[in-house]
């Protein structure tokens, strides 16, 4: 990396240092907003024993589903995994350790991790299996569960545009978990559709400031659609 | 006659108010969007990061970067905004959403809800449901009153793993509109043509029946 220029020219450089047994956050909601090329690079590297933190687990042949198929993930932290049959099979057979986490709690655990907040109380999950073994407290007559923050060795995210200094702009609902994950990785790698020069992004419109970003790579995206729904004419 | 899925959505839509921000769950709740009264301004929140969800796109306006929480391609209405998942759940957890509508497997007289997991069957995860029930004050649960064998889903105590404890106050089933308070179900309305006796027979938890139970107006 040269100074504040975060741009790397290859996927090998983008994921340099990612090794077995690391914790990796992967942005996206379903297949929307996932860093497709970075996921493919993890498959190529063959790293295993990963703890993956992502809202979903992709589908059988796309997104994180590819890592599951190659048994590279040993622990998965997610809120909903219904679209992936491989996932369900590995979970039921015990090959895969799964920590199902409410979606808002997952988002906040990552936000907290990036913001240096070690834990927080939330009403979400009180009285449910999610609260098992966790500290609870009554505050102003309501019950709350203590949830601990999450950070990762690598955060792999996708943005729409970046400048070379790593300032990011997301597009529509492809933002989802990406902005928080950008803050919570020891090394944050961003795969983007377009890289521009500093000054081309309006500072008022930057979603994620470059301080959180370590590496930027320009990707080519398939943008597969999970549920193609159209209005009847 | 028990209410159809469309009629359940129609009845829920009667609870909408002008200026409401509303989160609609997957399934029957999604249909409520089809019955927003003419001239009423309602903004639909989708927890993946969209306030102001519109209808499905046409083939030529479809955008893979614009989906709803069910991962379906959608559009955004004029005045919509996009934001992160953390921001989205700040809206939900912080009580800023005026009405939340979601489905359930079971509810009980304490207002607890089970909707995400059936042990022994495949487990898909809770998604945003636990945050929605914990964060919203105004929730309507839409569900079937009994299973296909006639077993009640309105119980003294939920048998399945909970989604939320003591957080549900109103339930609309295919047979009745019910309020939960003081450790009991209270019958507010019955579906057109459905007898109080049938509702009593299919409600396992304690049910308070007032002298007069009006028929629902759809």
Q: Is there a contact between B164 and A230 if contact means CB atoms under 8 Å apart?
A: no
Question: pLDDT tens, B146-187?
Answer: 999 999 999 999 999 999 999 999 999 999 999 999 999 999
User: What stretch of H or E contains A93?
Assistant: helix A85-93
Model pLDDT, residue A181:
98
Model pLDDT, residue A32:
97
Q: Which residues of B are catalytic?
A: 47
CATH says A11-116+151-217 is which class? alpha beta
Identity of the residue in A81, A103, A226 whose CB atom sits nearest the CB atom of B71: A226
Question: pLDDT tens, B110-119?
Answer: 999 999 998 8
Query: Which residue stretches of chain A have pLDDT < 50?
Result: 1
Model pLDDT, residue A217:
98
Q: Which of B8, B40, B4, B6 is nearest to B22 (CA)?
A: B40
Q: Is there a contact between A177 and B85 if contact means CB atoms under 8 Å apart?
A: yes
Query: Which three-class secondary structure string do you get for B4-41?
Result: CHHHHHHHHHCCCCCCCEEEECCCHHHHHHHHCCCCCC
Mutation pick from A102, A147, A227, A233 vs chain B, by most beta carbons of B within 10 Å, is: A102
Whether the complex's predicted ipTM is more than 0.90 is answered with yes
Query: Chain B closest CA to A95's CA: distance in Å?
Result: 15
Identify whether the C-beta of residue B62 lies closer than 8 Å to the C-beta of residue A229: no
Model pLDDT, residue A84:
80
Model pLDDT, residue A233:
64
Q: What does A148-169 look like in DSSP terms, one character per residue? A: E---EEEEEEEEEEEETT--EE
Q: Which residues of B touch A102 (CB under 8 A)?
A: 126-131
Average pLDDT over chain B reads 96
pLDDT profile of chain B (218 residues), mean per 10: 95 97 92 93 97 95 96 96 98 96 97 92 88 95 95 97 97 98 98 97 98 95
| Global pTM value | 0.97
Phi and psi, residue B25, nearest 5°:
-70, 180
Q: Is there a contact between B85 and A180 if contact means CB atoms under 8 Å apart?
A: yes
Q: Cα angle at B77 between B74 and B80, to 5 degrees?
A: 105
Model pLDDT, residue B122:
65
Model pLDDT, residue B27:
86
Q: Is there a contact between A173 and B135 if contact means CB atoms under 8 Å apart?
A: no
Mutation pick from A173, A208, A233 vs chain B, by most beta carbons of B within 10 Å, is: A173
């Amino acid at each position: 990396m040269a100074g504040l220029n975060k741009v790397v020219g290859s996927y090998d450089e983008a994921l340099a240092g990612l090794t077995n047994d690391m914790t990796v956050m992967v942005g996206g909601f379903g297949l929307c907003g996932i860093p497709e090329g970075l996921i493919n690079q993890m498959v190529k590297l063959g790293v295993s024993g990963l703890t993956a933190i992502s809202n979903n687990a992709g589908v059988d042949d796309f997104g994180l589903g590819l890592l599951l198929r190659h048994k590279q993930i040993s622990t998965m932290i997610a809120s909903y995994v219904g679209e992936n049959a491989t996932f369900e099979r590995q979970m039921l057979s015990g090959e895969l350790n799964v920590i199902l986490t409410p979606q808002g709690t997952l988002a906040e655990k990552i936000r907290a991790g990036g913001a240096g907040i070690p834990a927080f109380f939330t009403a979400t999950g009180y009285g449910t299996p999610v609260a098992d073994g966790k500290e609870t407290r009554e505050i102003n007559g309501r019950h709350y569960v203590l949830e601990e923050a999450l950070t990762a060795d690598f955060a792999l995210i996708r943005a729409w545009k970046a400048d070379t200094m790593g300032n990011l702009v997301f597009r529509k609902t492809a933002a989802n978990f990406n902005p928080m994950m950008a803050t919570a990785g020891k090394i944050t790698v961003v795969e983007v559709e377009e890289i521009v020069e500093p000054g081309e992004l309006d500072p008022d419109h930057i979603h994620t400031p470059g301080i959180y970003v370590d590496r930027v790579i320009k990707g080519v995206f398939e943008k597969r659609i999970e549920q193609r729904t159209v209005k009847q004419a | 006659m028990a209410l159809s899925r469309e009629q359940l959505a129609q009845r829920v839509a009667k609870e909408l108010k002008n200026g409401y921000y509303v989160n609609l769950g997957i399934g029957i709740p999604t249909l409520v969007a089809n019955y927003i009264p003419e001239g009423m301004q309602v903004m639909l929140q989708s927890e993946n990061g969209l306030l102001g969800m519109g209808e499905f796109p046409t083939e030529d306006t479809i955008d893979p970067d614009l989906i709803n929480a069910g991962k379906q391609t959608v559009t955004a209405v004029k005045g919509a905004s996009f934001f992160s998942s953390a921001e989205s759940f700040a809206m939900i957890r912080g009580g800023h959403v005026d009405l939340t509508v979601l489905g359930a497997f079971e509810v009980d007289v304490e207002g607890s809800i089970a909707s995400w997991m059936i042990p022994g069957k495949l487990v898909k995860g809770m998604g945003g449901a636990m945050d929605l029930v914990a964060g919203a004050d105004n929730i309507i649960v839409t569900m079937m009153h009994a299973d296909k064998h006639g077993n009640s889903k309105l119980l003294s105590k939920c048998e399945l793993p909970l989604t939320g404890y003591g957080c549900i106050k109103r339930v609309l089933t295919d047979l009745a509109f019910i309020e939960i308070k003081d450790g009991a179900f209270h019958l507010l309305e019955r579906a057109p043509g459905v007898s109080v006796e049938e509702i009593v027979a299919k409600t396992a938890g304690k049910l308070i029946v007032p002298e007069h139970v009006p028929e629902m107006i759809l």
